[in-house]
Structure 1
């Protein structure tokens, strides 16, 4: 995987083969960040990266100037890899080894962007828990955004707080936000 833009643009990061991950493709990542770039100043936001895997999304935010990034994953190998990569690149990424749903249930911190990339084989019920926890526990700042990455074969449009989806190849990003007042 490579970093698309920012301070570390073009840098390649090689994740260990034994990690149970499916990194977001460069094409999908570039499209996502083009959308976000039109909405946010990256140095003014806070990011929660759920099911962070290799840390691919966290590195992209850090490269673009985001200083407040928290990556959460249940796999110790993933957390260890993210910590080492963040240290090697001097990136401000903090990590938490935790089941994502337990973390969401107990967290009191708010974020501008929450990005979740759960396993593509999640059932709709498991996918539905993500926006449920995020919005019921008020984990997004005002004008915050929840982005859930999933397979193009999964339809999240009936879930609460759903706004829109964008597909790139086999990847789809569904965007969720609180209703505007």
Structure 2
């Protein structure tokens, strides 16, 4: 995996093979950040990276100037790897080892962008809990967006606050916004 753009552009990050992750592909990540680049100034936003895994998305935001990044994952190895990588690159990424759903139930902070990359084998009911908790607990700023990454075989268009989806290969990003 590599950082696509920003001050760490081109840097390769090698995650330990034992981590239970499926990093977002470079092609999908580049397409996603092209969309976000047209909507946000990265140094003015706060980001919540859920199911953060290797921290791939968090590093991309940090490389582009975002300083308020929180990465949440239940796996200790993932959190340890993100902390080590963030320290090596001098990135300001706060990590929280927690079940994502419990975190969303208890969080009181608001974010500009919430990115969730749950396991692709979640059923629609499990996927639906993410936007449900984000909007129920008012975790997005007024102009914020929730982005859920999932397989192209999963359809989230019937969920409340759904705005649109973009597909890149086998990856799909569904965008949810405050109505």
Q: Same fold (TM over 0.5)?
A: yes
Q: How does 1:139-154 map to 2 (within 5 A)?
A: 139-154=139-154
List per-residue Cα deviations over 1:115-139 (Å, max 9, x = no partner).
0000000000000000000000000
Deviations 1:3-46 (A, max 9, x none): 00000000000000000000000000000000000000000000
Unaligned runs of 5+ in 1: none
Deviation of 1:97 after TM superposition, in Å, equals 0.1
Q: How many residues matched? A: 179
Following superposition of structure 1 onto structure 2, how do residues 160-175 of structure 1 map, counting pairs within 5 Å?
A: 160-175=160-175
Q: Distance in 2 between matches of 1:11 and 1:154?
A: 32
Partner residue in 2 for 1:46: 46
Q: In 1, Cα distance between the equivalents of 2:153 and 2:123?
A: 11
Deviating beyond 3 angstroms after TM superposition, the runs of 4 or more aligned structure 1 residues are none
TM-score in terms of structure 1 length: 0.99
Output the aligned Cα RMSD: 0.2
SS of equivalent residue, structure 1 residue 6: coil
Unaligned runs of 5+ in 2: none
Q: List per-residue Cα deviations over 1:101-154 (Å, max 9, x = no partner).
A: 000000000000000000000000000000000000000001100000000000
Question: Which residue number corresponds to residue 60 of structure 2?
Answer: 60
- In the alignment, what sits opposite 1:158? 158
User: Does 2:111 align with 1:114?
Assistant: no
In 2, Cα distance between equivalents of 1:178 and 1:40: 16
